A and B are shown apart, each in its own frame.
Chain A
Amino acid sequence: MKSYNKNKKAIEFSFTWLFAVIIGTAILVLAIYAATKILSTGGAETSAAAAKEIGVLLNPLETGFEAGVSTSLSLPTDTRIYNGCDNFSGFGKQQIQVAQKSFGRFSEPSVNVSFPNKYIFSNETEEGKKFLIFSKPFEFPFKVANLIYLTSSNEKYCFIDAPENIKSELSQLKQENLLVANCSTSPEFIMVCFDTGTSCDIEVRYNSGYLKKNGDRLRFATDALMYAAIFSGGGIYECQASRLMQRAEELSSIYIKKANLLQQKDCNSNLDLLSLLNSFRSYEDSSDLRLLSDKAEEIEVGNRVSSCRLW
């Protein structure tokens, strides 16, 4: 009888504790899960804010018609900037994602932050603490946009046998990772050769308007697009170029309407902007730039000598 009672007490005690332990564990697991979620949401929030901030801080790089401007962007921790591009609908979108290093590893990329009015040319992923940025207006034949070139300070470019205008422009920029002299022997540089070398990372055929990079052949028109092709991955370059043509198409339409408005005041510009607009509309990839470039040049000359300049 004694032992029976003892056993009963033992069962009652253990059941209560078992119940408490199971529920307690469940609560603890839930609390840890919630804390992890809150922490990761906080991290994502910081990265998203950083991505938006980068986009906003690029606003002052929108210049007038002066030469390129260089600036730097320093971040407190090692950061990866993911450059994305969407060329669907309207003017397409520039997308930026950021991942920051904490506790020795990079966080997941933040949500995509989009900017329809920006054109950033860089590799798909740029990594570092300091990023160097310069911009240049893209005129085709009228100003279409300011192109932004973003590179990590860890990447150093060496321009070999560059034409005088490119050399002087790069020298004036004074960007620490773009060198035009005394760099050809160092292995750490990304070699950009103009019309000469064949064992370079990037071979630019300046007068023929194309360059070879990682096996891709990218066609360019104007120096602004040449820099774009040098500093960006093939996918980004093609996508951004297509977005630029979408904007150029819309600008052509505005200039056609402006020409009609001025015609009512007997101010004639006599430019064949409609054919230019159609060429922008039928743009598919950078291989179309050659034909477009000829047309743009012809219209630019027409506008320059016109008694009623449109731009």
Chain B
Amino acid sequence: MIKKTLKLGQFKIQQMAFMLIAVVIFFALVGIFVLGYGLSGLKQTANLLEEQNAMLLVSKLANSPEFSCGEAFGVTRINCIDFDKVMMLKQDIKKYNDFWGVSNIEIRKTVGGEQETLCNLANYPNCNTLKLLEQASQGYDYSNFVSLCWKEKSTAEIIYDKCAVAKLIVRYKEKI
């Protein structure tokens, strides 16, 4: 009689233990699902904010001190990039890697039909693309038209200001 009762008790405890394991697994699965959903929303928010940052930055980046013409070409110019200055900035660009919160910054002269010639100290200013920040990353580009000005020396040895229309392109790093 005692043996039989113990067996029945053991069986009930075992049954309950299985039930409890099932309940725990169920809640764990629900938890994982909720966490996954929450994290995907978080990633989306982060990407949206990065996108917003790139969009707002591109419209004002040309006026930041490292890029702007200031009064170097006579009068104050807005949305004007000093080509001489950014060429020198390119030499020290490592210090600015995380400064603007974007992964790529590029300035491209909008001259139709020309092949892309990357700017370096040897071919400057006879080039059309300056890649300032270059990080291998996935993301979207945002661009803005700016004027690109530099000092040029004529054949008659006269220094004059030369400007061209250019596109300032920034890319933000998408969180995958």
Does B165 touch A at the CB level, under 8 Å?
no
Q: Say whether B72 contacts A309, CB under 8 Å.
A: yes
CA distance A257 to B157 in the complex (A): 22
Q: Say whether A266 contacts B5, CB under 8 Å.
A: no
9 contacts between A and B (CB under 8 A): A38-B34, A60-B56, A64-B68, A65-B78, A116-B98, A261-B84, A262-B151, A266-B159, A309-B71
| A65-B70, A117-B99, A250-B92 known, 13 other contacts, Cβ within 8 Å | A12-B5, A16-B12, A53-B52, A56-B49, A116-B98, A143-B70, A254-B88, A255-B85, A265-B151, A267-B153, A308-B159, A310-B72, A311-B70
CA distance A227 to B60 in the complex (A): 23
Known: A19-B13, A56-B56. A49 touches B45 (CB 8 A): yes
Does B164 touch A at the CB level, under 8 Å?
no
Residues of B within 8 A of A (CB): 2, 5, 8-9, 12-13, 16, 20, 23-24, 27, 31, 34-35, 38, 42, 45-46, 49, 52-53, 56-57, 59-60, 63-66, 68, 70-72, 76, 78-79, 82, 84-85, 87-89, 91-92, 95, 98-101, 151-153, 157, 159
Does A15 touch B at the CB level, under 8 Å?
yes
Known: A15-B9, A142-B65, A143-B68. A59 touches B98 (CB 8 A): no
Residues of A within 8 A of B (CB): 8, 12, 15-16, 19-20, 23, 27, 30-31, 34, 38, 41-42, 45, 49, 52-53, 56-57, 59-60, 62-65, 90-91, 115-117, 142-145, 247, 250-251, 253-255, 257-258, 261-262, 265-267, 308-311
Of the residues B35, B76, B99, contact of A64 by C-beta under 8 Å:
B76
CA distance A146 to B89 in the complex (A): 19
Of the residues B12, B24, B63, B101, contact of A62 by C-beta under 8 Å:
B63
Known: A38-B34, A116-B99. A143 touches B159 (CB 8 A): no
CA distance A257 to B82 in the complex (A): 13
Q: Say whether A266 contacts B63, CB under 8 Å.
A: no
Q: Say whether A62 contacts B64, CB under 8 Å.
A: yes
Q: Say whether B9 contacts A16, CB under 8 Å.
A: yes
CA distance A139 to B103 in the complex (A): 28
CA distance A275 to B53 in the complex (A): 36
Q: Please give the distance in Å from A271's CB to the nearest CB on chain B.
A: 13
Determine chain B's interface SS by DSSP, over half rule: helix
Q: Which 7 A-B pairs have the closest CB atoms?
A: A59-B56, A257-B88, A62-B60, A311-B70, A64-B78, A143-B65, A265-B153
CA distance A117 to B27 in the complex (A): 45
Q: Determine the chain B residues whose CB is within 8 A of the CB of A16 once the complex forms.
A: 9, 12-13, 16
CA distance A230 to B91 in the complex (A): 38
Determine chain A's interface SS by DSSP, over half rule: helix
CA distance A8 to B8 in the complex (A): 13
Known: A27-B23, A60-B56. A254 touches B101 (CB 8 A): no
CA distance A225 to B31 in the complex (A): 51
CA distance A277 to B162 in the complex (A): 29
Interface core residue of B16, B71, B92 (most chain A CB under 10 Å): B71
Q: Say whether A65 contacts B65, CB under 8 Å.
A: no
Q: Determine the chain A residues whose CB is within 8 A of the CB of B53 once the complex forms.
A: 56, 59
Of the residues B49, B84, B153, B159, contact of A49 by C-beta under 8 Å:
B49
Q: Please give the distance in Å from B130's CB to the nearest CB on chain A.
A: 14
Q: Determine the chain B residues whose CB is within 8 A of the CB of A261 once the complex forms.
A: 84, 87-88
Q: Say whether B65 contacts A31, CB under 8 Å.
A: no
Q: Please give the distance in Å from B148's CB to the nearest CB on chain A.
A: 15
Q: Determine the chain B residues whose CB is within 8 A of the CB of A31 once the complex forms.
A: 27
Known: A258-B84, A261-B84, A311-B70. A90 touches B95 (CB 8 A): yes
Q: Determine the chain B residues whose CB is within 8 A of the CB of A38 once the complex forms.
A: 34-35, 38
CA distance A191 to B40 in the complex (A): 49
Q: Determine the chain B residues whose CB is within 8 A of the CB of A311 once the complex forms.
A: 70-72
Q: Say whether B5 contacts A8, CB under 8 Å.
A: yes
Q: Determine the chain B residues whose CB is within 8 A of the CB of A250 once the complex forms.
A: 92, 95
CA distance A64 to B23 in the complex (A): 62
Q: Determine the chain A residues whose CB is within 8 A of the CB of B9 once the complex forms.
A: 12, 15-16
Known: A16-B12, A16-B16. A254 touches B71 (CB 8 A): no
Q: Say whether B42 contacts A60, CB under 8 Å.
A: no
CA distance A142 to B85 in the complex (A): 13
Q: Please give the distance in Å from A209's CB to the nearest CB on chain B.
A: 23
Known: A20-B16, A27-B24, A117-B101. A63 touches B72 (CB 8 A): no
